[in-house]
């Protein structure tokens, strides 16, 4: 037996979906505007997780042009059937005329390669897929109700999928609008068949404080579905905003090889008041069945801080669980870029990168020269060693990114041979300088983001000089409670020529992510 500490995937790993194949578990989460998209994680025991690939992993699979922060890839579902892995997902926020909406991708190996998208004639978000034991395949998802009885009422629809053409076929059935009358956003639906009964599980009330998970059952897959009197089967809203874990929901069930049941779900850890800078994270909860219904966290009724997994034999270690400390080499699968793959904006160079500056800035709806990692800990340092021969108007630096409109950057610039560093807080689309200092000394530069709870310090040092603080900010001014959207915070290195043509390349010698 082994004990795992929640969350099992710390940092911004929201909307988890899971499936089991024999003794192996596979999990995917949302990635929004970041690429590569939809990380695929593998475990043998639900305790130790390793990232083995991504579903969206090559240029041209999806078009991210013009997608703003908190758009992009929403709420994937992963399933395995007849030797094939299936992921169904939604691409949100595409400009008019570009492909978007719900799609399928398949692979024989979950590590990839994955197919190009097969687009589905279905609106809405949060699609899922169910393989019945009679061979029929059913796709289901969420959309705003076409004849709503209340504001933001949604409805869950279900429709058959032709296994040969991968197209939806036959009539559509609207089967659910949530367990609570007046509840908004009945979403993230998943279908299961247990002991001959069909179960439809869905989140409702929005992916924030009032989030909850509910379930209904039916004798046939197209309904009618009747909810349990015990709904919601999991929520933290009754615990209040002072409880350290809020927003529990968006769950997916899996039966382990030993017959036990488990759920992965999202929730948020608060600190600094009602804020969650780490974003929506993935948690694990044990499940038992009583009187024909699932009971989440029996005897506790809330997401536990620690979970005992009887069939796990080792400690909770892995690439994502807790994050690895130290140098993050260029082949580490945690690297992401915005609207492009990391290798489309930079070239691996040993443990580091050659990062060509781009005219686009972090405020633009284009592809910036940005390489980022999720913030996975309340207390952590990002230490970047970088050199660049800048010309006037160019900058290189590190950033704490929430979106185009909200981020903090430490920008190093040069003017007539004088090197300066500024800390700029972009808040609601407006820039404000919160610190400034001259940079004297040799190359390369050491740039540091230091997170200690809600406090952010940004430091610079040149040559062998110890880095000094240039300016400070608060993570609570950057999280989704303060700014909107769906993302946790990213830390990264960037370079821009601020709209001008450029041939400058920043040489990122080393990046370290250091939990404190």
- Give the active site residues: 15, 187
| Best CA proximity match to 469, nearest among 401, 403, 417, 422 | 422
| Best CA proximity match to 472, nearest among 439, 447, 435 | 435
The SS3 call for residue 239 is helix
Among all chains, which residue has been given the structure tokens 């869905």? 202
Instruction: Report the chain's C-alpha Rg in angstroms.
Output: 23
Among all chains, which residue has been given the structure tokens 């009602």? 274
Residue 342: enclosing H or E segment and its boundaries? helix 342-345
Q: Are strands 234-235 and 212-218 parallel, antiparallel or unpaired?
A: antiparallel
285: Cα separation from own chain's centroid: 19
Separation of alpha carbons 139 and 160, rounded Å:
6
Whether 403 contacts 70, CB under 8 Å? yes
Separation of alpha carbons 44 and 318, rounded Å:
12
Torsion angles phi and psi, residue 455, rounded to 5: -90, 130
Contacts of 97 (CB under 8 A, 6+ apart): none
Whether 409 contacts 423, CB under 8 Å? yes
Separation of alpha carbons 372 and 493, rounded Å:
7
Separation of alpha carbons 337 and 346, rounded Å:
10
- DSSP line for 470-492: EEEEEGGGTSHHHH-SS---EEE
């Amino acid at each position: 037996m082994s004990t795992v500490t929640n969350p099992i995937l710390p940092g911004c790993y929201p909307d988890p979906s899971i499936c089991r194949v024999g003794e192996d578990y596979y999990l995917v989460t949302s990635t929004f505007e970041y690429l590569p998209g939809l990380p695929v994680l593998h475990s043998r025991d639900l305790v130790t997780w390793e990232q083995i690939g991504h579903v969206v992993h090559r240029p041209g699979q999806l078009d991210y042009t013009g997608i703003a922060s908190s758009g992009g890839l929403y709420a994937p579902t992963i399933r395995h059937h007849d030797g094939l892995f299936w992921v169904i997902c939604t691409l949100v926020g595409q400009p008019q005329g570009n492909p978007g909406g719900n799609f399928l991708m398949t692979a024989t190996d979950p590590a990839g390669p994955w197919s190009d998208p097969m687009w589905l004639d279905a609106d809405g978000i949060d699609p899922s897929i169910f393989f019945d034991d009679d061979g029929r395949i059913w796709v289901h998802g969420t959309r705003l109700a076409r004849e709503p009885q209340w504001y933001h009422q949604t409805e869950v629809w279900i429709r058959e999928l032709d296994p040969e053409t991968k197209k939806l076929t036959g009539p559509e059935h609207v089967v659910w609008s949530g367990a609570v009358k007046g509840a908004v956003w009945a979403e993230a639906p998943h279908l299961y068949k247990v002991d001959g009964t069909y179960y439809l599980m869905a989140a409702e009330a929005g992916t924030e404080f009032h989030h909850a998970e509910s379930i209904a059952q039916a004798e046939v897959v197209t309904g009618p579905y009747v909810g349990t009197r015990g709904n919601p089967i999991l929520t933290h809203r009754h615990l209040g905003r002072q409880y350290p874990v809020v927003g529990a929901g968006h769950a997916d069930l899996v039966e382990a090889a030993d017959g036990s049941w488990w759920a992965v779900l999202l929730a948020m850890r608060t600190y600094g008041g009602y804020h969650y800078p780490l974003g929506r994270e993935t948690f694990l909860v044990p499940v038992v069945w009583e009187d024909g219904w699932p009971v989440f966290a029996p005897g506790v009724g809330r997401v536990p801080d620690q979970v005992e997994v009887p069939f796990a034999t080792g400690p909770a270690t892995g690439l994502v669980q807790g994050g690895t400390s130290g140098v993050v080499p260029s082949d580490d699968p945690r690297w992401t870029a915005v609207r492009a793959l990391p290798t489309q904006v930079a070239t691996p160079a040993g443990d580091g990168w050659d990062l060509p500056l781009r005219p686009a800035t972090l405020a633009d709806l284009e592809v910036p020269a940005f390489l980022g990692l999720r913030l996975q800990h309340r207390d952590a340092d990002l230490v970047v060693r970088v050199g660049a021969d800048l010309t006037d108007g160019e900058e290189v630096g590190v950033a704490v990114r929430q979106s185009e409109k909200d981020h903090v950057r430490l920008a190093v610039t040069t003017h007539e041979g004088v090197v300066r560093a500024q800390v700029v807080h972009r808040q609601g689309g407006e820039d404000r300088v919160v610190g400034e200092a001259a940079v004297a000394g040799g190359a390369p530069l050491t740039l540091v983001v230091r997170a200690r709870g809600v406090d952010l310090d940004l430091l610079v040092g040149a040559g062998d000089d110890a880095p000094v603080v240039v300016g400070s900010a608060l993570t609570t001014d950057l999280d989704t409670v303060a700014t909107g959207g769906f993302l946790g915070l990213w830390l990264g290195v960037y370079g821009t020529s601020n709209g001008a043509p450029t041939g400058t390349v920043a040489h990122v010698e080393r990046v370290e992510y250091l939990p404190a």
